[in-house]
């Protein structure tokens, strides 16, 4: 599995990463969502370089030009609810794509332990298509792998791009070892080495869903 870390290149992308981490900026939920959305747009632009293209003639008011245009539409998938702003950023660029949504959550038990539950999925047929599966946080990696296993019941894509804004080293390693398909690329914005006992990434940014949409009970 190829791993591409966009944060290793000095670009404005890193400014957006710094803002979603900053506790002084996180109080503005609209700005947090917009920054996640902009990060999604940059990921979409970079992923677009990996897709298939061919020459097509375009008629302008003054003549005809030949442009290199994409010949495929990736299917965009996300894990609810935290993934919605990141998904929207992708959709801003791949604006004619079909979409898939997966509901996954942590079911907590005594002692701080939890298991990942998949409750709902809506997806088009994925056979032979390019799939982009995004979630802003890749902590343990368990929810990403379970989401992948669930969505593969809708067909086998020709390639899968997994997108995560902030990833833990443990999560990256877990996905590499357990992802059920080989033709896969993992895109990350930055990689943090630590996690808390409750499996939150450190320094991370906190709970992306709460920061986007408010705290849940």
pLDDT (tens digit per residue) in 81-121: 899 999 999 999 999 999 999 987 655 555 555 566 777 88
**SS3 of 74, please?**
coil
Backbone angles phi, psi at 129, to 5 degrees: -100, 170
CB 200 within 8 A of CB 59: no
pLDDT digits (tens, 9 = 90+) for 34-68: 999 999 999 999 999 999 999 999 999 999 999 99
Beta bridge partners of 69: 54
Q: Could you report the per-residue pLDDT of 167-191, keeping only the tens digit for each?
A: 999 999 999 999 888 899 999 999 9
Report pLDDT for 217: 73
Is residue 107 a contact partner of residue 114, using CB atoms and an 8 Å limit?
yes
What DSSP designation does 9 have?
S
> Which contacts (CB < 8 Å, 24+ apart) does range 99-106 have?
99/75, 99/124, 100/75, 100/76, 100/124, 100/126, 100/131, 100/151, 100/154, 101/77, 102/77, 102/78, 102/147, 102/150, 102/151, 103/79, 104/79, 104/80, 104/143, 104/146, 104/147, 106/143
- CATH (residue range 2-50+71-204): 3.40.50.2020
Record the pTM.
0.91
Domain ranges of the chain: 2-50+71-204
Q: What's residue 127's pLDDT?
A: 96
* pLDDT tens column, 63-79: 999 999 999 999 999 99
Measured distance CA(78)–CA(85) in Å, rounded: 10
- The C-alpha atoms of residue 182 and residue 184 are separated, in whole angstroms, by 5
| 55 conformational bin, left if phi > 0, alpha if psi -120 to 50, beta if neither | beta
89 within 8 A of 38, measured Cβ to Cβ: yes
The predicted structure's pLDDT at residue 80: 87
- Model confidence pLDDT, tens digit, residues 126-154: 999 999 999 999 999 988 998 999 899 99
When the pLDDT of each residue in the chain is averaged and rounded to a whole number, the result is 92
What is residue 199's predicted lDDT score, i.e. its pLDDT?
87
């Amino acid at each position: 599995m190829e791993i591409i870390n966009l944060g290793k290149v000095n670009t404005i992308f890193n400014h957006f990463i710094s803002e979603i981490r900053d506790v002084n900026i996180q109080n503005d939920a609209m700005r947090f969502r917009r920054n996640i959305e902009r990060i999604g747009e940059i990921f979409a632009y970079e992923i677009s370089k990996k897709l298939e293209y061919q020459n097509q003639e375009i008629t302008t008011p003054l003549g005809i030009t030949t442009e290199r245009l994409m010949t495929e539409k990736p299917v965009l998938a996300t894990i609810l609810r935290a993934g919605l702003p990141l998904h929207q950023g992708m959709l801003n660029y791949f604006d004619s794509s079909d979409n898939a949504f997966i509901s996954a959550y942590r079911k907590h038990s005594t002692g701080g332990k939890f298991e990942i539950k998949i409750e709902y999925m809506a997806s088009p047929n994925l056979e032979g298509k390019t799939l982009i599966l995004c979630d802003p946080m890749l902590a343990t990696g368990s929810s990403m792998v379970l989401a992948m296993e669930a969505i593969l019941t809708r067909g086998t894509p020709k390639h899968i791009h997994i997108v995560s804004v902030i990833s833990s080293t443990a999560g990256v390693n877990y996905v590499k070892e357990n992802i059920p398909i080989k033709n896969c690329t993992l895109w990350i914005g930055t990689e943090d080495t630590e996690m808390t006992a409750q499996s939150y990434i450190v320094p991370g940014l906190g709970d992306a869903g709460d920061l986007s949409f408010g705290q849940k009970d």
